[in-house]
Structure 1
Amino acid sequence: MHCQPEHKHQVYIWLKNAHTCLICDEATHASHCVCNVCETELPWLMEQCAICALPLPMEGLICGPCLKKPSAFKQVIAPWTYSFPIDSLISRFKHQARWPLGHMLARLLGQHLQHRFDNSGLTRPDCLLPVPMARKRLRERGFNQALMIARWLSQDLDIAVDEHLLLRPQDTVAQQALDAKSRQRNLLTAFALATSADVTGRHFALVDDVLTTGATAHSLARLLINAGARRVDVYCLARTPKPGA
């Protein structure tokens, strides 16, 4: 006896049908909804600082700020520079709640990370940690973009994500409006660890959308290292170039 009804019509299979590229609106068969042309023309980050991923003229160098004052994190992994159209895509994801754009970028970041795991010896972390958002800004925006990126990466890379280990008990001034020194002072007491946090000997990767001065990442990494973490990396969608570059 057949328990399923007989169906002779063509079935719509999502993965075998053309989608629309989220950048140029042309048809594409890519599952992450960006056509090959647009993906190739994205501002891929090539020559960069071996620690903070700051764009540099040559590969394999360490930038001046990292030489003068080493960061608490080990390495930043970012596929793109924060320039057009990546800056526009991230802004629309964050400020207009265009979640499909964020998902597309997170999928591409996941592919970039998997390639690094497989081919360049990048060590897989034990856990992903989204950068926590100030409560006031979270209420205004309605979601934490870093948390969403971390969840998507967790699914694609099969790496655990801990949404509650890092806390932001104090609301601080928005970092975008501050210079590098003010950003560091602004974050001195901004973050904390959950009381039940187990960090000793573990390798973490902080997840955020954009790395600018690295002050937030450094503050969080220092907090984790001081609590006994073995290593802290940073995964983000884009890295801003040096001002005036």
Structure 2
Amino acid sequence: MTCQPRLFSVVDKWLLINQTCLVCDERTDTPLPLCAACELELPWLGDRCERCALPLPMAGLTCGLCIKHPPAYESVYAPWVYGFPVDSLIISFKHNSRWPYGRLLADILGQSLRDRFNTGDPQPDCLLPVPLSTQRLRQRGYNQAAMLAQWLSRDLGIPCHDDWLLRHQDTAAQQALDAKARKRNLLHAFSLAPQVEVRGLHLALVDDVLTTGATAQSLARLLRQAGARQVDVYCLARTPRPDAPP
């Protein structure tokens, strides 16, 4: 039994029939419900840390934190900085069940990943969504990371295993915590499902937003300790440093 909604066909039909821009509500004849003007205005992530995708002033750099404390994941890919209107779309998808917003963002993320694979980036063996605790899943009714991973799986032809990672502690919400508190909050929060074998696999974690990277680090460390060859992170948006200029 799963709490995940089985409404992917409903979302797809909604997107096909109602071809209005989900940002400005104007009619659009583009393949996706996003007009060209709004697409240009999205907060696209430019120069970034080669490891954690933190926005940086120049390309080809690695941020100081990743140099000092290299993360267990190999790389992070996100199309956008977490800013308007992407932040509003993600919040509506994550907390208000506005699934067409999530589907739109997943489509664009999938296109970006496909372009990267076509230019030589290695394709992972499977996608693993960041899990929710059973209590949080019951409260929300769905796991937005699992929905994103399933949409990406279908678009990219990469298997998705949403039952390999378990979150067996209902930790406090990460949004209200600083970096150190986030790490403490996640100690011993995750485990691999019984009989799951990841040795030698290239895996990609899927989530909506990467903030401090504490969740991704905790899961990537777990997978690497279990023998995974490489762990990457795919998400919709990356937050800038709290002290970064607007």
The TM-score, its normalising length taken from structure 2, stands at 0.91
Once the two structures are superposed, residues 135-170 of structure 1 have per-residue CA deviations (whole angstroms, 9 ceiling, x without a partner) of 222122111000000000001101000011000011
Q: Which residue of 1 aligns with 2:179?
A: 180
Return the alpha-carbon distance in structure 2 between the equivalents of residues 29 and 127 of structure 1: 33
In structure 2, runs of 5+ residues without a counterpart are 1-13
- Measured after TM superposition, the shift of residue 32 of structure 1 is 2.1
2:54 is the alignment partner of 1:57: no
Alignment of 1:67-82 (within 5 A): 67-82=67-82
Which residue of the partner structure matches residue 236 of structure 1?
235
Per the TM alignment, residue 115 of structure 1 is displaced from its structure 2 partner at its CA by 0.9
SS where residue 19 of structure 1 aligns?
A: coil
Which amino acid in 2 is paired with 1:151? Q
Once residues 213 and 15 of structure 2 are traced to their aligned partners in structure 1, the CA distance between those partners, rounded to angstroms, is 38
2:227 aligned counterpart, secondary structure? coil
Question: How many Å apart are 1:114 and its aligned residue?
Answer: 0.7
TM-score w.r.t. structure 1 length?
Answer: 0.91
Aligned match of 2:206: 207
Alpha-carbon deviation of 1:244? 2.1
8 Å contact kept, 2:15–2:32:
no
Distance 2:123 2:88 in 1: 30
Q: Does the CA contact (< 8 Å) of 2:54 and 2:240 recur in 1?
A: yes
Q: Residue deviations 1:11-65, cap 9 Å, x none?
A: xxx9998811111111112222111111111000000000000000000000011
Q: For 1:20, what is the secondary structure of its paired residue?
A: coil
* Alpha-carbon distance change, 196 to 27 in structure 1, aligned in 2, over 3 angstroms: same
- CA contact 1:126–1:204 (8 Å) conserved in 2: yes
Separation of aligned partners in 1, 2:117 and 2:36 = 23
CA separation of 1:66 and 1:192: change in aligned 2, threshold 3 A: same
Separation of aligned partners in 1, 2:41 and 2:73: 30
Q: 1:225 to 1:47 in 2, by over 3 A?
A: same
Query: Which amino acid in 2 is paired with 1:23?
Result: V
- 1:214 and 1:122 mapped to 2: Cα distance? 22
CA distance in 1, matches of 2:32, 2:217: 31
CA distance in 2, matches of 1:31, 1:142: 30
Are the aligned partners of 1:18 and 1:28 in contact in 2 as well (CA < 8 Å)?
no
Matched, 1:191 2:198: no
Aligned residue pairs, count: 232
Q: 1:164 and 2:163 equivalent?
A: yes
Structure with higher Rg: it is 1
Q: In the aligned structure 1, how far is the partner of 2:201 from the partner of 2:181?
A: 30
Q: Hey, what does 2:8 align to over in structure 1?
A: none
Q: Percent sequence identity over matched residues?
A: 63
CA-based RMSD of the aligned residues comes to 1.6
- 2:93 maps to 93
Partner SS for 2:127: strand
Rounded to whole Å, the distance in 1 between the matches of 2:158 and 2:30 is 24
Q: Which residue of structure 1 aligns with residue 7 of structure 2?
A: none
Stretches (4+) displaced over 3 A: 14-18
2 CA distance for matches of 1:16 and 1:173? 38
